Amino acid sequence: MSRRPRRSHSPAFKSKVALAAIKGEQTITELSQKFDVHPNQITQWKNQLLEQAATVFEQGAGKEPAVDLKALHAKIGELTLENDFLEGALNKAGLLSAKK
């Protein structure tokens, strides 16, 4: 008997199988045959879904998008450099007063 290579399942597939197991319309054995996944794996995905179900609504409400600080710092540096250059050029041309 040969072993098949390890497979990676997408989160969408895992949730589909776990939801089918939670519904209970088919047995775990029937689901394992239908989706070609070991029954223990289906039980594990089902338990993970049940344990983490409450966090789905908590994270979605107040979650802010991740901010890339490196990109923001680079943009601030770039704009500061441009402002300094423009200030120097306007001072040379006499269009900017020395007051700040």
pTM of the model: 0.54
Q: At residue 64, what are phi and psi to the nearest 5 degrees?
A: -100, 150
Query: Which pLDDT score is estimated for 7?
Result: 85
Q: What is the per-residue pLDDT across 2-41, written as a single tens digit (0 to 9) for each?
A: 787 888 889 999 999 999 999 989 999 999 999 999 999 9
pLDDT over 90, % of the chain: 55
| pLDDT surpassing 90 at residue 46 | yes
Say which residue, 73 or 97, is predicted with more confidence. 73
The candidate with the shortest Cα–Cα distance to 87, out of 74, 72, 100, 73, is 100
CB 21 within 8 A of CB 45: yes
Distance of CA 55 to the CA centre of its chain: 15
The candidate with the shortest Cα–Cα distance to 16, out of 46, 47, 57, 58, is 46
Query: Which pLDDT score is estimated for 93?
Result: 87
